[in-house]
A and B are shown apart, each in its own frame.
Chain A
Amino acid sequence: MKKFLAEVLVFLIILLISFYLTFMRANGKTDPFYLRFTSPKQHSLILGTSRAAQGIQPSVLDSILPGSGFYNYSFTIGHSPYGPAYLNSIKKKLDHQTKNGIFILSVDPWSISSNANDPNNPDRFRERKLAIGKTPVVNIRPNFFYLINAYDKPFYHLLPRQKSSIILRDDGWLDVKFKIDSLKMEQLIEKKVDSYRKNNLKKYKFSDVRLEYLTKTITYLKNFGRVYLVRLPVHPRMMEIDEEFIPDFDQKIRQISEQTGTPYFDMSFMNDSILYTDGNHIYRESGKVVSARIGEWIAGQEQ
């Protein structure tokens, strides 16, 4: 028995070291989410869906608001609409010693909606079964929990030198790095708008529960600093869909803004002047402009 246990133990140790080394190869090119679950706890967060993940660049904000140390903890409309799972994950990501943090909550109609049959039943929210709901620890590297529960490819993808035009930066910003010409941009916008109109617009419903969780998220974060609400620019054709989906969206957010005393910055006035990768997401160069405007607006609010 001793021989058996000793041999198995040695074998297991060698295996565990191999697994560890393989997992250590995971990086910002592994997928658009992994790295966010590996960074330390943070004190200033950018929250929201993929519009914020791609559109708000922490480095630009940091240059305008020195010492803030922003971290982009936004994911997608599937992973991070406001709700219990996202709030729970935010609580884990937040450094609880924070006193003067700045929290930018990006809002859009999809972040307070659900594609479940009953949009007000949190048990049906799909993020429960995605990385945000299945990753109990969000600040270790390598993050075994994420890689085992949520990473959706075989692990051999981690081994070669990974090439990707989508890179998750160390500050959580999702850098989509591809050259774009006006023709390709128009095609991508057409495709995205078409997909939102045919799929999302039909499947999604406004969720009172998610709106309630937006308020809960604001209230919770206020214990650790200042909270700001931002509506990012989208392509005018996407804006049409947004307005068709929840016509009184702006009104709802303003109401929450007043109730919680949270400043709200509606950036839709910039819709026409921004470049988008697909109509829904801001192009990296325009992202700098948008991030700078947000930084300046916050600086103005803080004076």
Chain B
Amino acid sequence: MLFNSISFAVFLPVVFLLYWFVARKSLRGQNVLLLIASYFFYGSWDYRFLFLLIFSTFLDYFTGIKIHEAETRKRKKIWLWLSITINLGFLGVFKYYNFFAASFAGALSLVGFHADYFTLQVILPVGISFYTFHGLSYVLDLYNDRIKPERDFINYAVFVSFFPLLVAGPIERATHLLPQIIRKRDFDYHQAMDGLRQMLWGFFKKMVIADNCAIYVNDIFSHSSGYSGSTLVLGTMFFAFQVYGDFSGYSDIALGTARLFGINLLRNFAFPFFARDIAEFWRRWHISLTTWFRDYLYIPLGGNRGGKWMSIRNMFIVFLVSGFWHGANWTYIVWGLLNAIYFLPLLLLHKTKQNVEIVAKGRLFPSLKELTGMIVTFALILFSFIFFRARDLHHAFAYTAKIFSPSLFSLPHFKGDEKIAPLAILILVFFLIEWIGREEQYAIEKIGLKWHKAVRWALYYTLVMAIFLFAGKEQAFIYFQF
């Protein structure tokens, strides 16, 4: 069940009304309803994957208690590794087995051996990377004595399976979400309205910006050999807008939906395309994953405590693993590597935290230095996105080579370019609104709040009508595949 589907438009109001009218009197009732709704939501993709989700939930619930109860550090470690091994084992089988088998056979053939290997004909269970990391953070926090185990299975299962975040995050932390799950929620008008507003902006990003860009991205990337360098640059820009609109739009819808149920989820995006350097970009892009890797990989590896070379090594590991997390393809690994390379100068010069505040805070326009920083960062990100989007490395290199050819200086021309004007205007308006609202949690959070109610609602009406009139062909969310 996609957020941008008719079935979700029916599902959400039904669950909302049951939650606040039937189950509102008891915490138990609220959580049981959320769990049933979440399993229904997940099962609507493929009910067979539900068993995997329930097994994964039970595994972490059980090992979590065992970790807590273990009397020695050694026993705690055994339970921790059991959980990690099984969790990553599932992820490995479903997501990475075919990649490793093919890569291993490929490596052997390079040294003259021929290896037959078999591939698994399995479909990747939707959201497996997200809920696996979700569960892992819980057992790791328990192991590090940051939290106490949740002994109520229903509460824990809601923490793992809460439907707004189940298939594409944000990757929650037990320290943040569990306290909200074990506390009865009361309806709050302002929180619910804020949720609807955030959902509205998310739908706009997804259905208007991302889905319309997708049409051109698919065509340009599929037929890249026949297009000029300038067209390929434009194709990459469209992809940047697509992937941002798609994933940050999904996150906004997820956060907004959760607010309707009285739950606040972690922020996942903070206007990354206004970042002035790569370090800032990564503090603003897919924040829940970046901080996950920081807390559960970078810091345990030693972080920056072991000197410069240790920091560099750890930073490269984090980016490579992050790339690999996105998919079993060398393109993602190169994408991660590129970002690590971009990050390196900042690390060496101790400038990773030179841009912490949002750009041009309290001002309308950025300074020339800020503008330059944003443009350079955006260009670097665009280049790395070629690898993120290409079907394989060969395609990515051919695409790049074509960009850096004389045709870069020709006028872009692609299928359907005569109809591009409405989309170009929409993208412009979109970035203008994002710029205006860049100091808030999401772009339209505060826009119009001081206006007369009728005017404010007219703004929301305009946005809904824009979604209705300009929505592109329905596309699945990109991050579902991860």
Which A residues contact B (CB, under 8 angstroms)? Answer: 1, 3-4, 8, 11, 14-15, 18-19, 22, 148, 152, 154-156, 159
Known: A1-B20, A4-B192. A156 touches B461 (CB 8 A): no
The residue from B20, B193, B196, B469 contacting A155, defined by CB atoms under 8 A apart? B469
A277 to B20, CA, bound (A): 62
Q: Are A4 and B469 in contact (CB under 8 A)?
A: no
- Closest-CB distance, B262 to chain A (whole angstroms): 12
Mark out the residues of chain B between 458 and 476 whose CB falls within 8 Å of any chain A CB in the assembled complex: 460-461, 464-465, 468-473
A155 to B189, CA, bound (A): 33
The residue on A at minimum CB distance from B465 is A18
Known: A3-B189, A18-B465. A154 touches B20 (CB 8 A): no
Q: Supply 17 further A-B pairs (C-beta < 8 A) apart from A154-B469, A155-B471, A156-B469.
A: A1-B187, A1-B189, A4-B192, A4-B193, A11-B457, A11-B460, A11-B461, A14-B461, A15-B464, A15-B465, A15-B468, A19-B468, A22-B468, A22-B469, A154-B470, A155-B468, A155-B470
A148 to B471, CA, bound (A): 11
The residue on B at minimum CB distance from A14 is B461
A15: chain B residues within 8 A (beta carbon):
461, 464-465, 468
B196: chain A residues within 8 A (beta carbon):
8
B422: chain A residues within 8 A (beta carbon):
154, 156
Tell me if B123 counts as interface (CB < 8 A to partner A). Answer: no
A301 to B196, CA, bound (A): 65
Tell me if B368 counts as interface (CB < 8 A to partner A). Answer: no
Interface size on B, residues (CB 8 A): 20
B212: chain A residues within 8 A (beta carbon):
154
B6: chain A residues within 8 A (beta carbon):
148
B464: chain A residues within 8 A (beta carbon):
15
The residue on A at minimum CB distance from B192 is A4
Which B residues contact A (CB, under 8 angstroms)? Answer: 6, 20, 187, 189, 192-193, 196, 212, 422, 457, 460-461, 464-465, 468-473
Q: Are A154 and B189 in contact (CB under 8 A)?
A: no
The residue on A at minimum CB distance from B186 is A1
A148: chain B residues within 8 A (beta carbon):
6
**Can you show 25 pairs from A to B with CB atoms below 8 A apart?**
A1-B20, A3-B189, A4-B187, A4-B192, A4-B193, A8-B196, A11-B457, A11-B461, A14-B461, A15-B464, A15-B465, A15-B468, A18-B465, A18-B468, A19-B468, A148-B6, A152-B473, A154-B422, A154-B469, A154-B470, A155-B468, A155-B470, A155-B471, A156-B469, A156-B470
- Closest-CB distance, A158 to chain B (whole angstroms): 8
A11 to B461, CA, bound (A): 8
For the residues of B in contact with A, the DSSP-based class is helix
A11: chain B residues within 8 A (beta carbon):
457, 460-461
A141 to B325, CA, bound (A): 48
A14: chain B residues within 8 A (beta carbon):
461
- Closest-CB distance, B226 to chain A (whole angstroms): 19
- Closest-CB distance, B153 to chain A (whole angstroms): 30
- Closest-CB distance, A259 to chain B (whole angstroms): 44
Q: Are A154 and B472 in contact (CB under 8 A)?
A: yes
A19 to B468, CA, bound (A): 8
B20: chain A residues within 8 A (beta carbon):
1
A297 to B468, CA, bound (A): 49
The residue on B at minimum CB distance from A155 is B469
Q: Are B471 and A154 in contact (CB under 8 A)?
A: yes
- Closest-CB distance, A166 to chain B (whole angstroms): 18
B193: chain A residues within 8 A (beta carbon):
4
A22 to B470, CA, bound (A): 13
A156 to B465, CA, bound (A): 10
- Closest-CB distance, A177 to chain B (whole angstroms): 23
B189: chain A residues within 8 A (beta carbon):
1, 3-4
The residue from A1, A8, A159 contacting B469, defined by CB atoms under 8 A apart? A159
A8: chain B residues within 8 A (beta carbon):
196
A8 to B189, CA, bound (A): 11
A152: chain B residues within 8 A (beta carbon):
473
A155 to B465, CA, bound (A): 10
A131 to B366, CA, bound (A): 50
The residue on B at minimum CB distance from A10 is B457
A286 to B20, CA, bound (A): 66
A148 to B5, CA, bound (A): 10
6 closest Cβ pairs, A-B complex: A156-B469, A155-B469, A1-B187, A154-B470, A4-B189, A4-B192
A3 to B457, CA, bound (A): 15
The residue on B at minimum CB distance from A153 is B473
- Closest-CB distance, A148 to chain B (whole angstroms): 7
